[in-house]
Amino acid sequence: QVQLVESGGGLVQAGGSLRLSCAASGSIVALKTMGWYRQAPGKQRELVARITSSGGSTNYADFVKGRFTISRDNAKGAVYLQMNSLKPEDTAVYYCNIVLYPVPWGQGTQVTVSS
């Protein structure tokens, strides 16, 4: 059973930075493309960024390109999201999961960006 635990969120001013971490248990995770998602109040969950199992390829939603960087450390079972130049519209709960075939969602980590 894969378990996902997100951390690193918080309150930050616009223009600031945060680094989110996702601890993923289960060896299968190292074989999967992983993604960071977010869900703002009243909106559907959306994919923010994804990274292939080797870390050799990444993709970003247009609204975070050039500001966010996804990375992973398979030895640690971890996936990261470095978020720079944060905007108030980035405020959301952020989650990580396997792309295409998600497992039960973790609790997420709240990111709040003040203007």
Q: Give the CA distances from residue 51 to residues 6, 28, 74, 112, in Å, rounded to whole numbers and listed in that order.
A: 16, 15, 12, 24
**CA–CA dist 113, 99 (Å, integer):** 26
**CA–CA dist 52, 35 (Å, integer):** 9
> How long a stretch of residues is the chain?
115
Q: Is pLDDT of 69 > 90?
A: yes
Q: Is pLDDT of 23 > 90?
A: yes
Q: Residue 27 phi/psi, 5° resolution?
A: -65, -20
Comparing 7-11, 24-28, 108-112, the range with the smallest average pLDDT is 24-28
Q: Which two tokens stand for residue 59?
A: 């993709």
% residues pLDDT > 70 (the chain): 100
Q: What does the pLDDT look like over 78-103, one tens digit per residue? A: 999 999 999 999 999 999 999 988 99
To the nearest whole number, what is the mean pLDDT of the chain? 96
